[in-house]
Amino acid sequence: MDSTIVLFLVQDAVINGAIYALVAIALVLVFAVTRVIFVPQGEFVAFAGLTVAALEAGRVPPTLWLLVALGFLAAISSIAWHWREMDARRLARVIASTLIVPLLLIVLTNFIAPMKLGLTANAILTLLLVVPMGPLIYRIAFEPLAEASVLVLLIASFGVHLSLVGLGLAFFGPEGVRTTALSDGTYNAGALIITGQSIVVIGVTLALLAALALFFGLTLTGKALRACASNRLGARLVGIPTSVAGQVAFGMAALIGAICGILITPITAIYYDSGFLIGLKGFVAAIVGGLASYTITALAALGVGLVESFASFWWSTYKEVLVFTIILPVLVWRSFRSSHLEDED
């Protein structure tokens, strides 16, 4: 292996690492605010990629109908859970918050999709279609379970994952897609050829990380989310509605996932079920970061990218094994560092 290959592998690792970092941060965010280990995070990535591909082909993406279905489910679930206290005003509010956005998007998407407006328009429309799924999923699956244990939330999370993957197959079909690069330039830096795509990926990731830092540091919503994360009861006592916080967290997770999807689909083929493995690797990074620290999480994601990239070069059959076994020593080390006499629950 010469330095060109090393540099190439590192570049590959950095790109994948950036995606895992974003997924991991979304997982940390959702867990911190709602205690849900959000297994289906990767599904947002896959669905966004598949949506961009459909838009590039000038088709109305099936994501639209998936979103409409989720809207109806959320409406039914809200009505069913609050049947006793349902009156006309409340009913109107439920319908407004669950169905208006999907129905508006039906009009918008059918109008725009055949026009093939290009990269930016496709990306924006994709975000519009994927991001509302986050809050809707929270309302359907997790809001009624807000008081349940982490274990129950985790199992429910698997339930949502199974359903979404099944829906993905039903709506998108089994074919994989790749989309056109966001930037087709290449730049030479010594022996290394840097693709414009990788610059876009790194740039967007850094911008997004900075935006998140600003959001949590400066805005009231961001601070409210952090308050929910550190103490749910306390947050409720000072008037932060935890349900809204949960929806915001899921919306942000969907946004981050969708951006990942838009970024990664030009690089690797995405299938309806590609999300799980991406999510799992993000999860590895999130755990190494202790489901708490954003900085360590991002570094760990880079580490996952490196291990994966070099393992696929040397020992490709065992690529996945290596990624998952290499974390065992890290876990043991972290576990020894934290106090051994901790009270659980």
Partner 1 sequence: MTPSMRQWLPPLFALAALIAPFTGWMPPYWITLFNYIGLSSLVALGLVLLTGVGGMTSFGQAAFVGFGAYTSAVLTLDYGISPWLTLPVSLLVTALGALLIGALTVRLSGHYLPLGTIAWGIALFYVFGNSSTLGAHDGLSGVPPLRVGTHAIIDPREYFVVVWIAVVLAIVATRNLLDSRIGRAIRALRRGAVAAESFGVNAPRAKLIVFVYSAVLAGLAGWLYAHFQRSVSPGAFGVNTGIEYLIMAVIGGAGRIYGAILGAASVTILKDQLQNILPWIIGSTGNYETIVFGAILVLVLETAPSGLWPLISGPPPPPKLTRAPDVPLPQRPKPAPGTPLLQVNAARKTFGGLVAVNDVSFEVAAGEILGLIGPNGAGKSTTFDLLTCVQPRTSGTIVFCGKPLSGERPQDVARLGISRTFQHVHLAPDMSVIENVALGAHLRGSAGTLRAFAHLERKEEAALLNNAKRQLERVGLGDQALSLAGSLSLGQLRLVEIARALCPDPILLLLDEPAAGLRVGEKKELARLLRELRGEGMSVLLVEHDMDFVMSLADRLVVLDFGQKIAQGAPKDVRSDPRVLEAYLGGVA
Task: State the residues that interact with partner 1 by CB under 8 A.
Answer: 37, 140-141, 144-145, 147-149, 151-152, 154-156, 158-167, 169-170, 280, 283-284, 287, 291, 317-318, 320-321, 324-325, 327-328, 331-332, 334-336, 338, 340-345
Burial of 113 (0-12, 13-18, 19+ CB in 10 A): buried
> What angle (nearest 5°) sits at the alpha carbon of residue 82, between those of residues 238 and 75?
100
User: Rounded to whole angstroms, how far apart are CA atoms 294 and 289?
Assistant: 7
Least distance to partner 1 from the beta carbon of 279, Å?
A: 12
Residue 148 C-beta: closest distance to partner 1, Å: 4
Using CA atoms in the order 130, 133, 134, 138, what is the torsion angle rounded to 10 degrees? Answer: -170
Decide whether 56 or 308 has the Cβ nearer to partner 1.
308
Q: What share of the chain is helix, strand, coil (3-state, %, to 5)?
A: 75, 5, 20
User: Nearer Cβ to partner 1, position 29 or 182?
Assistant: 29
CB of 88 to partner 1, least distance (A): 26
Nearer to partner 1, 96 or 169 (CB): 169
What six digits make up the tokens of 232?
């749910």
Cβ(197)–Cβ(301) below 8 Å = no
Rounded Cα gap, residues 336 and 345, in angstroms: 19
Q: Residue 2 or 342: which CB sits closer to partner 1?
A: 342
Smallest distance from the beta carbon of 245 to partner 1, in angstroms? Answer: 20
Euclidean distance between CA atoms 272 and 256, whole angstroms:
18
Q: State the minimum distance, in angstroms, from the CB of residue 191 to partner 1.
A: 34
Nearer residue to partner 1 within complex by CB, 87 or 345: 345
CB 122 within 8 A of CB 56: yes
Residue 117: phi and psi, rounded to 5, are -80, -5
Q: Is the dihedral of CA 173, 118, 40, 280 positive or negative?
A: positive
To partner 1, the closest distance from the beta carbon of 230 in angstroms equals: 16
Q: How far is CA 150 from the centre of its chain?
A: 19
Return the number of the residue (236 or 319) whose C-beta is nearest partner 1.
Answer: 319
Cα 262 to chain centroid distance, Å, stands at: 12
Nearer of residues 115 and 152 to partner 1, judged by Cβ: 152
Q: Which two tokens stand for residue 262?
A: 């838009």
Q: How far is the CB of 11 from partner 1 (least distance, A)?
A: 27
Q: How far is the CB of 110 from partner 1 (least distance, A)?
A: 25
Residue 105 CA to its chain's centroid (Å): 21
Instruction: Decide whether 240 or 304 has the Cβ nearer to partner 1.
Output: 304
Those residues whose C-beta lies under 8 Å from the C-beta of residue 173, and which sit 6 or more positions away, are: 272
